[in-house]
Structure 1
Amino acid sequence: MSFQPITHLRHVDLAVPDFERQRAFYGTTWGLTEIADDSGIAFFAAEGSPEQYVVRIRADRRKRMDLVAFGAVSPGAVDELAVRLGRSGVQLVHEPRALDTPGGGYGLRFFDPDGRVVEVSADVGTRAHRKIEEREAVPVRLSHCVVNSRNPEGLRDFYVRHLGFRLTDTLYSTHMGDLMYFLRCSPLHHSFAIARGPHVSLHHASFEMRGVEEYMRGTGRALRAGTRLTWGPGRHLAGDNTFSYFHDPHGNTVEYTTELAVLEEDLWHPGRYDVDDPVTQDQWGTADPMSESVAKEQFNDPDVLFEAPPV
């Protein structure tokens, strides 16, 4: 069996100039729970998730995605990953060590080929979480993270080779070639995906709701708060999940979703979906048709590359 150290997506960390505005958005409008803060850093948990936090916000004069974090099966897997990355010439941000973020744990950080920081950790303490009640429109967990890349094929191969991700499905266009690769580290359709974009950046971070009722109520709450809806509500074909894409106060795309497909991995064969078929983008037909202007909403600003965040 190939080396498959990754168990799940842990958190997405963002740096922003207007810290308090971003903090208020995630804690009030988006429905996350602030669990800790320390000198311009705030940590937000999803009430239904045992993860210590799913979003970290840090004050910085430059907007950027600080890192994306994944869970590992064991400390031994973290150590083995560090050795394998070193042998392949991958630049480490730091060697495996004890972590001082909420929940602690043992992890390493490295740069992927695009220059974004990736954290992989094990033995992180879990958080007391609870069942999300019917019609309670707060995120259950962080569902998935999608990034933009100018070389999505190369980045896909990196995550498959080094982190053991498996390709689930591909979006393509007859005119532009492959546009998005969905990657999984568990039976969930995808925890990570790579989109073709004009520069390296965060495409979107997605948050799972309890069900369709809660998903729609969360969408409505965000709209009533004046949050900019960029696409949706609708239901994708690949993954079979619902989508409502919004912009946070700094232009990062965040998504409410639910009912992401759970696969029978032994029977699954990767599919290819043509984005020019409107059903591929939205089975319901309720969202605006995919267009160049809609696609540009998820390009985001160019990220800070090959520079580790201070914390």
Structure 2
Amino acid sequence: MTQRLITHLRHVDLAVPDFTTQLDFYSGIWGLTPEHTDTGLAFLAAEGSPEQYIVRLRQAAEKRIDLISFGAANADDVDTLAGQLAADGVQLVGEPDTLQTPGGGYGFRFFDNEGRTIEISSDVEVRQHRTIEEGESIPVRLSHVVLNSTDPEGTVAFYDKHLGFSLSDTLMHPRMGNMMWFLRTNAWHHSMAIARGPHASLHHASFEMRGVDEYMRGTGRLLRAGVEKIWGPGRHLAGNNTFSYFLDPQGNTVEYTTELEQLDEDTWHPHLYDISNPEVSDQWGTANAMNEFVAQKSFNDPDKGLFVAPPV
């Protein structure tokens, strides 16, 4: 494992064929705030987050993950990471430079082992944000991103070796072996997870709510609006966080969650949890059963953006 120079998850950027419908969903019922929106490009902020935006939407012919962005403490750490990755043979999209996205900053992009575009940045201007009020059921921040992988062991090893991610817990199945790896880059139980899947794609993006009441209010609001629910509401064992999974209009899985565990990293030892035990998937026992329908929806469509850097 390399020295950990990544501090946190910043945003997830999605390319979508039906831009207007996606923008209406995320800026309306999902509860994000559009900022710096242009023709075919929208930056969506969470009212409770200092990040300039946590979701970027881009009009495109094909659905894909444009990139996943992580923060670093300063420009020196950005340069160090870029140098280490290049020396290890990782393909950089570009050298570190001034960013042309909202809030500016300094950063670079590279392809991970499966071809996803990853961005590392520092010195991005902080957005004016506010405390989310009691009963206000809108996202506070982007909690984590989960990726499907055809080589999950290799992908976990990549993020461990090159970016200093630490393993928090693993989910396994008695017949299928290890199925999901939870990775952290700070005290939060995970900011990324890697799931075994039939192709590389977005498994889900998760949004942290103020508390359990706000999480349930948000879940209920989406149900009343007829948004397709895949799984939940319930509470996972790994990470101890609540979950309600829905489909956005383009078929990406998005999650409302809250109370993700914060670890004492000096004393934490990863667990191996058996997901055939119902209490591992849902401690409360309130969610629909994890079945082939839920799994198929979370596999998503194959990512069309591998080893192709987004144009912006």
Letter of the 2:219 counterpart: T
Letter of the 1:96 counterpart: P
The corresponding residue for 2:286 is 286
CA distance in 2 between counterparts of 1:98 and 1:3 reads 24
* 1:310 equivalenced with 2:311 (yes/no): yes
Unpaired segments of 5 or more residues in structure 1?
none
Taking structure 1 as the reference length, what is the TM-score of the superposition?
0.99
- Aligned CA-pair RMSD: 0.9
SS of corresponding position for 2:85: helix
What is the Cα deviation at residue 2 of structure 1? Answer: 4.3
What is the Cα deviation at residue 224 of structure 1? Answer: 1.6
What is the Cα deviation at residue 87 of structure 1? Answer: 1.0
Deviates more, 1:263-272 or 1:219-228: 219-228
Taking structure 2 as the reference length, what is the TM-score of the superposition?
0.98
The corresponding residue for 1:67 is 67
Paired residues for 1:101-180 under 5 Å = 101-180=101-180
Work out the number of aligned pairs and report it: 311
The corresponding residue for 2:197 is 197
Deviations 1:170-220 (A, max 9, x none): 000111111000000111000000000000000000000000000011111
* 1:44 equivalenced with 2:36 (yes/no): no
CA distance in 1 between counterparts of 2:241 and 2:184 reads 15
CA distance in 1 between counterparts of 2:205 and 2:141 reads 11
* 1:20 equivalenced with 2:20 (yes/no): yes
Paired residues for 1:217-296 under 5 Å = 217-296=217-296
SS of corresponding position for 1:298: helix
Deviations 1:101-146 (A, max 9, x none): 0110000100001111000000000000000000000000000000
Paired residues for 1:211-222 under 5 Å = 211-222=211-222
Q: Is the 8 A contact 2:2 2:163 kept in 1?
A: no
What is the Cα deviation at residue 293 of structure 1? Answer: 2.0
What is the Cα deviation at residue 84 of structure 1? Answer: 0.8
The corresponding residue for 1:185 is 185
Unpaired segments of 5 or more residues in structure 2?
none
Percent of aligned pairs sharing the same letter: 65
Q: Which segments of structure 1 move beyond 6 Å, counting only runs of 4 or more?
A: none
What is the Cα deviation at residue 39 of structure 1? Answer: 2.3
Letter of the 1:258 counterpart: T
CA distance in 2 between counterparts of 1:72 and 1:225 reads 38
SS of corresponding position for 2:95: strand
